[in-house]
Amino acid sequence: MITINLAMAVVLAVLYSVGFYLLLQRSLMRILIGIVVLGHGANLLLQLAGGPPARAPVLGTALPEEFADPLPQALALTAIVITFALTTYLLALGYRSWVLTGRDEVQDDVEDRRVAERERPEGSMEEDAEGPDDEEDPGSAAASDRTDEPAEVSGSGAAR
């Protein structure tokens, strides 16, 4: 079993907590950075799983104990490539989302929006100003046309 030093444990704790905190934000950009930070945390943890720093593996001759464990390094390398590729994809997707909808905010869940619509009493429209205004642009209007919501809800959506 491998134990790690305190400094690294603190760094890991910071990376993971910052990563998960950012993941819980509404802005897509922050979520993306959260994924990146979380990915760094996971890759660092993989590295540390190989034990304390030691001689570069494979290179030169030395006793087996003096070499660092090469496996976690190989694993981390693979993981870095994968997280890098997927981050790029997510970035492209985020840009596409911004082009299409004109904002980089993750909208409410479809079900949540339906429940919110049902609970709102007739005629109270001002609450909408605070929430993310999903119904403004034609894209979201098309979403409600796609019968995600019952007739009376999409009716009120069109009224706004």
**Interacting residues with other proteins (CB under 8 A):** 1-2, 4, 19, 23, 28, 31, 35, 38-39, 41-43, 45-46, 48-50, 69, 71-72, 75, 78-79, 82-83, 85-86, 89-90, 93-94, 96-97, 100-101, 106-107, 109-111, 137-140, 142-143, 145-148, 150-151
Smallest distance from other proteins to CB 120, Å: 19
β-bridge mates for residue 67, sequence order: 55
Backbone angles phi, psi at 103, to 5 degrees: -155, 165
CB closer to other proteins out of 84 and 124:
84
Min separation Cβ 42 and other proteins, Å: 4
Question: Cα(31)–Cα(104) distance, rounded to whole angstroms?
Answer: 10
Chain center to CA of 147 = 28
- Measured in degrees and rounded to the nearest 5, phi and psi for residue 105 equal -100, 140
User: In the chain, where does DSSP find H-type helix?
Assistant: 6-23, 28-48, 70-101, 110-119, 138-143, 151-159
Rank residues 128 and 137 by Cβ distance to other proteins and give the closer one: 137
Measured from the CB atom, the residue of 71 and 125 that comes closer to other proteins is 71
The nearest distance, CB 123 to other proteins, in angstroms, is: 25
